[in-house]
Amino acid sequence: MHDEHGVVAAAQLFKVLGNESRLQLLQLLGESPRTVGTLVEVTGMSQPLVSQHLRSLKQAGLVAADRHGKAMNYHLADDHVAHIVDDAIAHVEESHTTKAADRRPGRISP
């Protein structure tokens, strides 16, 4: 397939983003850098699972890590990542609100 303006790479990005746990981790890292231990506590996921997801996110260029002593602090690679996650969530919430409004009695659909 011909990679017209990064379409193939963007499709790969959406595959990585197509996991609820990874989106949750990205959302948390968008709030502040965190260690694996902190992410485990906040999400309730196991440490191996958090580490596996972080590895996938790092390979996709969505997450970066900095060593602080013995701990690795994970953070979003750039602001674009936060925008992608925030926009996707806003879209879903907006769509949900619109659908609920469309179901109100007496509402005439266009």
pTM: predicted TM-score of the whole model, two decimal places: 0.80
Nearest to residue 39, comparing CAs of 19, 69, 47? 47
pLDDT at 56: 96
In the prediction, which pLDDT does 63 show?
97
Residue type, 71: A
pLDDT at residue 2, as a whole number: 61
In the prediction, which pLDDT does 19 show?
A: 95
Using the Cα atoms of residue 35, residue 36, residue 38 and residue 42 in order, give the sign of their dihedral.
positive
Query: Could you tell me which of 41, 63, 67, 66 has the C-alpha nearest to residue 52?
Result: 63
| 27's tokens | 């959302």
- Per-position pLDDT tens, the chain of length 110: 566 778 988 899 999 999 999 999 999 999 999 999 999 999 999 999 999 999 999 999 999 999 989 999 999 999 899 999 999 889 999 877 766 656 555 555 44
